[in-house]
Amino acid sequence: MQPFKTLTSLAAPLDRTNIDTDQIIPKQFLKRIERTGYGEFLFFDWRRTAAGDPDPAFVLNDSRYKGAQILIAGKNFGCGSSREHAAWALSDFGFRVVIAPTFADIFFSNAGKNGIVLVRLSEEQVEELLKNASTISGYQLTVSLEEQIVADGHEFKASFEIDPFRKYCLLEGLDDIGLTLRHAAALDAYETQHDHAGWLKAK
């Protein structure tokens, strides 16, 4: 998992509330066993017309937001089923930060384990960011996890809260496997001792 310190990037405004995981990554694309390759299916039903062509009205098909690594959305982002694929799709598409007033609990957990920083701001602050990203050409935000600050090059600046353990894992780039491997030496020593004790008992 890639460590996250500070990111400055274009911000894409997705002005919708209650965005559920089935919209983030529709169920027909959950057959892959790898964590990669889901980005092309992110928001598939919104990004494509009934004929399968890119919908020019959808924000992520707008060339102004090409390469954006920060997504701004309405409250209750990531609600619905608990599929971890939603976090995989966002990450594979290139998003490293999602800013919203609230997030569904299970999605919040899955996102953190996949290196995505979720920033909770007030509804008023998110509305301001949505407006700025929609109206200011090339609108960028800087998200500092170390300082827990979101700012733009204009007049917006806001702090956000984050659990200290989640912050540590994101800063260090540690998922569940990475956390376990940090104790590899202790685990090896325990296994060696356990095997030796079992051998002595068998004798």
Residues 153 and 194 in one domain: no
pLDDT greater than 90 at residue 172:
yes
Q: Could you tell me if 117 and 199 lie in one domain?
A: no
User: Could you tell me if 114 and 165 lie in one domain?
Assistant: yes
Q: Which residues contact 47 (CB under 8 A, 6 or more apart)?
A: 54, 55, 58, 60, 61
Q: Give yes or no: residues 77 and 145 share one domain.
A: yes
Taking the model in full, what pTM does it have? Answer: 0.87
Give the pLDDT score at 182: 56
Q: What is the pLDDT of residues 137-159, one digit of tens each?
A: 999 999 999 999 999 988 999 99
Provide the domain limits for residue 161.
6-172
Residue 183's pLDDT is: 46
Decide if 79 is inside a domain. yes
Write down the mean pLDDT value for the chain: 90
- Indicate if the pLDDT at residue 160 is higher than 60: yes
The answer to whether residues 73 and 128 belong to one domain is yes
pLDDT of 175 strictly over 70: yes
Report pLDDT digits (tens) over 60-113: 999 999 999 999 999 999 999 888 999 999 999 999 999 999 999 999 999 999
Kindly calculate the radius of gyration of the chain based on its CA atoms and give it in whole angstroms.
20
| 1 belongs to a structural domain | no
